[in-house]
């Protein structure tokens, strides 16, 4: 339409006929927006790369490790060399092979124990935060009881009953690691259940399970995802601490914490026995912390 032509009847200025060259961006899915912000965080991407490498090493450990975890050589406490990249331990076992196979132990314990803690924390936090009253009181008093017991004493007590193996460590950490997530979920439910859309769902006659699972829980996932990511690194560090104290994974399983405990007596004449498994623990925990920080920033609606 030219400037001298009259406007068509019923035409409204600013309607789709007049948008012409205006570029109206299509709405992006939330996951795309979160990933776009996550990629901007360089430390988070470094952490993601390290975690991907850790998982790949854990999956392909039998093909990466040049020696078996119990295979011995005649060289005791030998330093790093072309035959043994990370040296050998006190009985001639290849440290590199044991560190690589230790990744399988750490990944398994980290993810399974965290999943157990998240499930327990989610269930108890949802019940306490949504129903309130006596249910909330019971959940919080149970949490206080667990918090009042020193963690090391509780872990040793459970290990004495269930034994000392990978599955036992998963059970110990899973049964004692839900306290933080339960408090986070409870606090989120206490604030979300008073919002208008939840009251509207009640007015429409929706069941409690539907309101919890489809209306409240999806809006409480942000802190849960961040906490769960960081918790994986914390669980791996906890497993290393338990193995170091002698109540975790036992020989001949190549756990990083156990390797550090075995190498602490040779710090002067064979520092590689502590350095390499200790470095593996440090990098793994740091990677999950970086990812957790990146997810926290990416999921924060105030930073859009």
User: Per-residue pLDDT for 69 more than 70?
Assistant: yes
First to last CA, the chain: 39
Note whether 196 and 204 are within 8 A (CB): no
Determine the average pLDDT of the residues in 80-108: 87
**3-class DSSP state of 60:** coil
Helix, strand, coil percentages (3-state) for the chain, rounded to 5, are: 70, 0, 30
CA dist., res. 302 & res. 262, Å (int): 48
Q: According to the model, what pLDDT value does residue 28 have?
A: 65
pLDDT digits (tens, 9 = 90+) for 259-293: 888 888 777 788 888 899 889 999 999 999 999 88
CA dist., res. 283 & res. 165, Å (int): 24
CA dist., res. 227 & res. 113, Å (int): 14
**The token pair that represents 204 in the structure block:** 């429409």
Write down all domains in the chain, each with its CATH number in brackets.
39-303 (1.10.3720.10)
Q: According to the model, what pLDDT value does residue 124 have?
A: 92
pLDDT digits (tens, 9 = 90+) for 215-262: 888 888 888 888 888 888 888 888 888 887 777 788 788 888 888 888
Look up residue 72 and give its DSSP letter: B
């Amino acid at each position: 339409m030219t400037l001298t032509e009259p406007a068509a009847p019923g035409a409204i200025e600013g309607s789709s006929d007049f948008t012409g060259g205006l570029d109206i961006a299509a709405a992006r899915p939330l996951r795309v927006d979160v990933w776009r912000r996550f990629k901007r965080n360089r430390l988070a991407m470094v952490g993601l790369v390290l975690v991907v490498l850790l998982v790949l090493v854990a999956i392909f450990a039998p093909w990466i490790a040049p020696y078996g975890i119990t295979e011995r050589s005649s060289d005791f406490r030998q330093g790093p060399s072309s035959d043994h990249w990370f040296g050998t331990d006190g009985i001639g076992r290849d440290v590199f092979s044991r560190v690589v196979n230790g990744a399988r132990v750490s990944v398994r314990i980290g993810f399974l124990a965290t999943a157990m803690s998240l499930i327990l924390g989610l269930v108890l936090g949802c019940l306490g935060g949504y129903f309130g009253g006596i249910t909330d009181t019971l959940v919080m008093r149970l949490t206080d009881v667990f918090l009042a017991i020193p963690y090391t004493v509780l872990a040793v007590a459970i290990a004495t009953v269930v034994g000392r193996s990978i599955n036992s460590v998963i059970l110990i950490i899973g049964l004692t690691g839900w306290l933080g997530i339960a408090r986070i979920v409870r606090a989120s439910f206490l604030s979300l259940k008073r919002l208008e859309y939840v009251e509207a769902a009640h007015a429409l006659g929706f069941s409690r399970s539907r309101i919890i699972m489809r209306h409240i829980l999806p809006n409480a996932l942000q802190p849960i995802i961040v906490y769960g990511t960081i918790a994986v690194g914390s669980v791996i560090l906890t497993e290393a601490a338990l193995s170091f104290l002698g109540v975790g994974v036992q020989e001949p399983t190549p756990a990083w914490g156990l390797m550090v405990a075995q190498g602490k007596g040779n710090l002067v004449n064979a520092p590689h026995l502590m350095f390499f498994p200790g470095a593996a623990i440090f990098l793994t925990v740091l990677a999950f912390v970086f990812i957790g920080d990146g997810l926290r920033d990416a999921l924060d609606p105030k930073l859009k």
